Chain A
């Protein structure tokens, strides 16, 4: 795809290609409607999180009449609530670090060398991304109980490696293929050892790829619930599982539930904000 690679050069001189105004208006309308569709349910959650439970059940209103932060206060002062966030963040970060760390050398091997069984291995790795978590829930439960890791953060982090490691290998391999092999050869000629070359020269070159891989690992680990709930009971219980607790309380405290939901959106929103300039490139998975 040489023409694709060279496109910025070709595209540069034409900055003022005319866009017919009626078309950009139509685009704006389409996008606005779509984003409205995306945001409306989230708005409703925020709206409810700012109401008391009696206001929610007492009457219907489009915005909180008496905005209150009481629901958030409940969560942020009760360890059984806020530890859920801490637990989630711990295992998500653990998983991201583990996934990217082990995926880096493997992706390098796939992108640079052919070796016995490499194609089969790569495909086998990808099949793990296709494994339904529901299939693994019970065996994981038994496996981690057997090795005494049940209800620990590391258990969830390792379990999520099942689908995140293949994904990280896949993304990183795409980015690494874009780095010419001459760079490796030059470094070896200059007397770099493999680890030093990898850390000093190669990793900075694929920094954006590492960022993208980390983003996807974070994303899939953060949103997964089935495995993380199955593998924990109290000590490492994720926030998403804690939320189901409100259901069993006398009636349902919708306000607290909504507030907890809003708080789970925030880490994701922060991560997106930091990587916003790489999203488009990241979703290309390094291989368009």
Chain B
């Protein structure tokens, strides 16, 4: 679509610009400011160059947190995306039951993050939680506050519980836009169930799946509240992800300089990965599109 050029459209964008500038640019400038300064207290700062960045790049703590973060996002995406698509394929297309499914599935998405944490904190406990008790009953020694693997398991399961529905709902929306004629043609062509999925459903869902994967990547990479409530980053530092580490640093220890440098790197990583992913996907689109 060719849109007319009209620079007065800026006036329409102005409110958004002012608002977002206020809540993004000013804070971000503060962060940049801190990242290149140091203080001995009393609000006296002096120029410190790229010392904090240099420090950060050699900080084992940061690299460990980053490694854990990448592992977590990867696991979560690898489980949630296929599972979400699988669930969407089994949802009824219309009628009363499809409404019921939609409402029940959307439920976890509207629970405050810390309540999600609380729910699983309780659910997984051996003394009062159904899951912990059930696992103990099966003879498994499940203790997410002591055991690293157990802590990871409960946090991953929690995230799957929390967010798979988002993928499923997005995929479902994509599936619903496929005209019946495609399925009829597939029957006539004797396509197998797998071929229908591979050549009809998956291509038609791709648009929403790109959005879904992007959203899930960003949000899982920023996760803070839920694991913090359940494990507090422990045992040890086993579930200390980037956000948890950052908040510890900035609000707990008030190490403003390192925290600010950390923030900037953190933000840049997310931007970079999202941008790369988005560019690759849209380039693929262009290749396949009309020449």
Query: Which residues on A are within 8 Å of B, measured CB to CB?
Result: 3-4, 7, 10-11, 14, 17, 26-27, 30-31, 34-35, 37-42, 44-45, 48, 56-57, 60, 62, 98, 101-103, 105-106, 108-110, 112-116, 118, 121, 125, 127-140, 142-143, 158-159, 161-162, 165-166, 169, 177, 219, 222-226, 230, 239-241, 243-244, 254, 257-258, 261, 264-265, 267-269, 271-273, 276-277, 279-285, 287-288
For residue B181, CB closer than 8 A to chain A, the reply is yes
Judge if B28 is at the interface, Cβ distance under 8 Å. yes
Q: How far is the CA of A216 from the CA of B8 in the complex (A)?
A: 29
Q: Which of A110, A115, A159, A244 has the most CB of B within 10 A?
A: A115
B115 at interface by CB-CB < 8 Å: yes
**A42-B119 contact, Cβ under 8 Å, with A137-B251, A138-B256, A222-B110:** yes
B224 and A134 form a contact (CB under 8 A): yes
- Nearest neighbor of B30 in chain A, beta-carbon distance: A139
Min Cβ gap A145→B in Å is 12
Asked whether A7 lies within 8 Å of B179 as measured between CB atoms, the reply is yes
Contact assessment for A17 and B104 in the assembled complex, using a CB-CB cutoff below 8 Å: no
Provide 15 A-B residue pairs closer than 8 Å at the C-beta atoms, listed in order of the A residue. A4-B177, A10-B181, A44-B119, A44-B122, A60-B133, A130-B218, A134-B243, A134-B247, A139-B30, A225-B225, A230-B251, A272-B110, A288-B173, A288-B177, A288-B207
Minimum C-beta distance from A3 to chain B (A): 6
Question: Are A132 and B270 within 8 A (Cβ)?
Answer: yes
Once the chains bind, are B115 and A265 in contact (CB under 8 Å)?
Answer: yes
**How many cross-chain pairs have Cβ atoms below 8 Å apart between A and B?**
290
List chain B positions with a Cβ less than 8 A from chain A: 1, 3-10, 12-13, 15-17, 19-20, 22-24, 26-28, 30-31, 86-87, 90-92, 99, 101-115, 118-120, 122-123, 127-131, 133, 161, 165-166, 169-170, 172-174, 176-181, 183-184, 207-208, 211, 218, 221-222, 224-225, 242-244, 246-247, 250-251, 256, 259, 263, 266-267, 270-271, 274
Majority-rule SS of B interface residues? helix
Q: In the complex, A254→B125 CA distance in Å?
A: 12
| Also in contact, A158 and B22, with CB within 8 A (given A35-B101, A134-B246, A285-B208) | yes
8 closest A-B pairs by CB: A268-B110, A139-B27, A7-B179, A284-B173, A109-B12, A134-B243, A109-B9, A105-B12
Contact call A268/B107, Cβ cutoff below 8 A? yes
Contact status A261-B3, CB under 8 Å: no
Contact between B207 and A224, CB atoms less than 8 A apart: no
Given contacts A31-B90, A132-B267, A240-B115, contact A284 B16 (CB under 8 A): no
Q: Which residues of A contact B243 (CB under 8 A)?
A: 132-134, 226
